[in-house]
Amino acid sequence: SQTIHQWPATLVQPVGSPLSLECTVEGTSNPNLYWYRQAAGRGLQLLFYSVGIGQISSEVPQNLSASRPQDRQFILSSKKLLLSDSGFYLCAWSPQLGYNEKLFFGSGTQLSVL
Amino acid sequence: AQKITQTQPGMFVQEKEAVTLDCTYDTSDPSYGLFWYKQPSSGEMIFLIYQGSYDQQNATEGRYSLNFQKARKSANLVISASQLGDSAMYFCAMTLAGGFKTIFGAGTRLFVKA
């Protein structure tokens, strides 16, 4: 069966420090991968998605970047964190693209930038 | 523009009773999928139910059913026989044809009372 791993679970970082969040999927190949951010008490905002190695699409211009160095690995990065980067970050995957494809989510990373 | 609206920030329901969580959507695309996800306090998003825009019958998954009214652009979630474990945030979401972007509503927090 397929599983998705996301770490770390919580992270406290000072403003201006770098960031690296990692997500890996097991048990499937060529998944579509997504990074979402959830502000406190709000819905999810799509940040990046990827349909293959090295293929990254950005939905929202911001201080973050994403990379997909391997088929089942998705990394969210920042060179210098801002206070506004605080939030709950969720990685997700889907087997195919399509409006009937549900998303499978990781357990999330709570990022606090101080 | 595509949009999901959940107008109930919080809802209370007595254990063993049914509850309806409202969701309206806006799109001019004829092909789309509607989803409900549950987010417990642990943070992970759990898929509950799916309804396709061309589906003639309302979707059901165990105690969950989706009341799909296409002309009114509503996709309400009905939870029957509420349980204490149903206390969580519930998100309505929509994916359009092309399938790479899922839009989420702001969510409804459900509290189940014993």
> A6-24: per-residue pLDDT in tens?
999 999 999 999 999 999 9
Q: What is the pLDDT of residue A41?
A: 74
Of A14, A71, A78, A79, nearest in space to A47 by CA: A78
Mean pLDDT of chain A: 92
Task: Check residue A43 and report its DSSP letter.
Answer: -
> B40-53: per-residue pLDDT in tens?
999 999 999 999 99
Q: Give the integer Cα–Cα distance in Å for B71 and A81.
A: 45
Phi-psi region of B86 (alpha: psi -120 to 50; beta: other; left: phi over 0): alpha
Residue to mutate among B38, B39, B45, B47, with most A CBs inside 10 A, is: B45
> A44-57: per-residue pLDDT in tens?
999 999 999 999 99
Residue to mutate among A100, A107, A109, A110, with most B CBs inside 10 A, is: A100
Neighboring chain A residues of B31 at a CB cutoff of 8 Å: 99
B104:A44 CB<8 A: yes
A44:B35 CB<8 A: no
A96:B99 CB<8 A: yes
Per-residue pLDDT of chain B (114 residues; tens, 9 = 90+): 789 999 999 999 999 999 999 999 999 999 999 999 999 999 999 999 999 999 999 999 999 999 999 999 999 999 999 999 999 999 999 998 776 789 999 999 999 999
Neighboring chain A residues of B95 at a CB cutoff of 8 Å: 98-101
Task: Pick A99's closest partner by Cβ from B43, B44, B99.
Answer: B99
Residue type, A12: V
What kind and span of H or E run contains B32? strand B32-39
Q: Give the integer Cα–Cα distance in Å for A59 and B54.
A: 28
Question: Is pLDDT of A61 > 80?
Answer: no
Averaged pLDDT, A98-107: 90
Q: What is the pLDDT of residue A52?
A: 93
Neighboring chain B residues of A32 at a CB cutoff of 8 Å: 100
* A residues 40-69 closer than 8 Å to B (CB): 41-46, 49, 51, 57, 59
First to last CA, chain B: 41
Question: Is pLDDT of A42 > 90?
Answer: no
